[in-house]
Each structure stands twice: as structure tokens, then as C-alpha cells.
Structure 1
Amino acid sequence: MTLDGRIALVSGGSRGIGRAIVERLTREGAQVYFTCRTDPGVPGAVAIRTDHEDVGSVRSMFDAVGERLDILVNNAAINPRTPLDTVTAEEIDRVLTVNTKVPVLAMRAAAERMGRGGRIVNVSTLNTVVPAPGRLLYTISKGALEQATAVASRELGPRGITVNTVSPGAVNTDMLRSANNAETLTQTIAVTALQRLGEPDDIAAIVAWLTGPDAAWITGHNIRATGGLLV
């Protein structure tokens, strides 16, 4: 139980990678709170119903957690199809709010509650290295979050708080399958060294390591968890 006694908050923990992270941190001994729109009922974890399209969600989730926090995982995100010729100001605001603004405000709120040994992990995407057509807003919002990680790691490092990014490649989630057809997924597997899609548990294992004691010397890094996907 490497996280025994630690308090963790995971945004977007109802399905896919987020749910796997919630389940893994719970198994490692942490008391886990997670945000969701509909409670999926993860044993041992506490669901906080909220909508990250509203920046007020930051206050509601930290009110639920209380005055102490050891681990923050910013996982919640939206990935609408937004080719350049369809982008609107309203859609820019919506995607940046969920994928960048709320995570940054959550980092600020978390840092106010963390002591030495605090851990912040931001979940990004390989799309910031391999841009995908039609994913303009998702890509720029996650790129901004990666830069926020780099800056926050420098600012919070003197306090003993680590801040890192995990950037998954092709992971077997509803989001991936809704954005790609079967032929595209087959081609992706063919150029991946491990010859398969990633699974949510693969990413959860990396996040669990980053939030545990063995990663105390790792900060400001972006771990690209791709299974050897050629880029």
C-alpha cells in the first residue's frame, strides 16, 4: 500500500483512463475523490458530481475534499472534432475551460493544500507531438497544459511538490474509438512496437508510480506513454 493514508483527487474519474486511475490509487491505499457527471460507483472512492465546463467546479470539488490534499490528477477533458474552418469563439472557450483553465485553477487550489511530498499529474496527449486533423482545440489546450506543468514544477519544486505530465498514445477508450475508425486503429497498432492499443490500466500504473514515494526525484517531465508508437 504505497499510498496508504494519502488523499487524492482525480478529475474525470468515471470511465476510461480516469476510472482506471481512481481504481489503481484506491488499491494502493489512497483515499480517492473523483469528479464525474454521473457516479459510476467505484468501491472505496468518493464521487463528486460536477461539470468542468463551469470554472465553479474547481470550488465545488475542493470543498468536497477539504483542507488537505496530497495528490491531484487532472484527467478530465473534452475532445470535440473542431477543424479550423468550423472553429467558433464559443467552442474555443468551452474546450480551453475544461482542458486548460480548470486544471490550472485546480493546481493552484491543490498547491494551497499540499505539504512536502505533494504530487500533481496532468494527463495530456500524444497529439501535441503528432497533431491530428480536426483536433485543433484539443491539441492546443493540452499543449498549454503541458507548459503549465513545466512552469508549476519550477514554482512548486522548492516546496517539495512534484508536477509531471503523462501523455498517452493510442489507448483503448471510448474517446479513441469515437475519433477513429477500425482501419485507422489497425494502422496505429501496426506502427506500435508492442503491437497493441494501450489499456487504461497501463496509464494508471504510470500515474500511480508518479504519485508514490519512488518518484520523488521526478518533476517537470512529460512521460509519453505510447507503447513504442512510431512518430
Structure 2
Amino acid sequence: MTTQSSTTPRVALVTGGSRGIGRQITRQLAADGFAVAVGYAGNKEAAEEVVREIEAAGGAAFAAGADVAEEAEVAAVFDLAEARYGGIDAVVHAAGRMPLSPIAELDLAELDSLYRTNIRGTFVVDQQAARRLRPGGALVNFSSSIVGLAFPGYGAYAASKGAVEALTLVLARELRGRDVTVNTVAPGPTATELFLDGKDEETVARLAAQPPLERLGTPEDIASVVSFLVGPAGRWVNGQVLRANGGII
């Protein structure tokens, strides 16, 4: 991990930064030289552990809790990042929920809760990002390759992520002239604790065999894609959905 080479480092805010893919993204962006606001919903201890890792390696970070669907709470996290570091250059919205159920059996209260986090939450975070990102900045949302794969049991989740993909392109066009990119990363099956929970070895092996590369993705794979999108090499990628899934079709 590199230390900051300037008194005014680039600044990233990552929602869902305390675990899984989001946790690895915070580590990667800190290694890239960003000061990082580690957003979390409920697991303060895990978020603070990430902060300690980053600081021990010479980086700058702080943890900030918020319900992504609550405008005032999200705005407060942006306020903290701006107060500490002077502005925000990258927003990575990795927070989300993934309850699974056949469409015919899904409790509609669960549907409402899912949509509140995955759709309203994305809208709230994106709205703050659109207002606050500095020129040269980048917003990265998260969808899922399940939108195209359409596995049974993922109906509500896939629908929520389809909304994220639509929002991404609209916002990229609305930010014309701002020098801010807006993209979405759509991972395939990725070996996180959340993904592996409840799956037997046969199911995991079957999913791992689907990509031509014949393995599950890793959080590091996805974090590298985000690193590209928010870095100088990714400035000409805008309004896109990058399906980081090893070639599953």
C-alpha cells in the first residue's frame, strides 16, 4: 500500500465498505493513494478494522455509518469526507441487499425493503455524488451479472439491479460538461462470505465452472475493475455497465 504523496490526496467514499467486495475496494483505493471514507450500515467494528488496516499501511481513512436510503444520513457522510479531506473525487456505491425467493413466494414486505436499499439507496447516493464530485471525479454503482443470467430465485434482486443500470446511463448524460464519469460494475459469482453462505460444495462447483475461466471471481478481481474506472486510465469509459464475470453469458 502506498502512502499519500500530496497534502491534498484524491478522496474516495465507498458505501458497503466494511465487508465483502466493498471491503476489498476500500483497501485497493487506499493502495492507489486515495483517502477513503469507509461507509457501513451496521457493522461498525468491521469498518473500523478496515480503517486500522489502511492507517497501519500509511494511508488515510475513517469509518462513517449511514442507511443509504436515508438522505440526511448519506449527506452527513459526504459532509464528513469534505470536512476532513476538502472534497470528494470518487464515489463507489457497493452497499446492497440480496434476499432470494421465487417470485410467486416472495413476501412483498421483503420486496419493499430490498427496493428501499437497492433502488432508493442508489438514487440517494448518486444524487449526493452528482452534486458534490469534483471535476475529474468518478461514480461507480454496482449491479450484477444476474440481470442477464436470470437465475430462478433472483427475480426481485435482478429487477432492482436493472434499475441501477438504467439510472447509471441517465446520470452519465445528465452530468455532461462536469468532467465526471458514471459507470456500473456488474460482477458474476464472486467468492465472498455472503455469496458462499448456504451453498453446498456441489452448487459452488457448478457456479465456478460456468465462466470460460472456470473459477469464481474474487473481491480482488472486482476491486481492480473499480480501481481502473476511478483512475486516470478509465477516464474515457462513461455510462457503461462492465460485466466482470469471467465470460459468463
Same fold, judged at TM 0.5 (above): yes
Q: Which residue of 2 aligns with 1:166?
A: 185
- Larger mean CA deviation between 219-228 and 46-55 belongs to 46-55
Residue 132 (1) aligns with residue 132 (2) = no
Following superposition of structure 1 onto structure 2, how do residues 7-156 of structure 1 map, counting pairs within 5 Å? 7-36=11-40, 37-39=42-44, 40=46, 41-42=49-50, 43-44=54-55, 45-52=61-68, 54-66=70-82, 68-156=87-175
Q: Deviations over 1:27-79 (max 9, x none)?
A: 11101002112232112321112333645432332232236211010100110
SS of corresponding position for 1:85: helix
Residue 210 (1) aligns with residue 201 (2) = no
Where structure 2 has 5 or more consecutive residues not aligned to the other structure, the ranges are 56-60
SS of corresponding position for 2:176: helix
Letter in 1 for 2:11: I
Where structure 1 has 5 or more consecutive residues not aligned to the other structure, the ranges are none
Alignment TM-score, normalising by the size of structure 2:
0.86
Letter in 2 for 1:17: I
Letter in 1 for 2:134: G
Q: Which residue of 1 aligns with 2:199?
A: 180
Contact 2:68 2:125 in 1 (8 A): no
RMSD over aligned CA atoms reads 2.0
Q: Deviations over 1:173-199 (max 9, x none)?
A: 122112633212211222222221111
Letter in 2 for 1:218: V
Letter in 2 for 1:23: R
Contact 1:50 1:57 in 2 (8 A): yes
Contact 1:55 1:97 in 2 (8 A): no
Contact 2:67 2:74 in 1 (8 A): no
Contact 1:167 1:223 in 2 (8 A): yes
Number of residue pairs matched by the alignment: 230
SS of corresponding position for 1:115: strand
Alignment TM-score, normalising by the size of structure 1:
0.92
Letter in 2 for 1:14: S
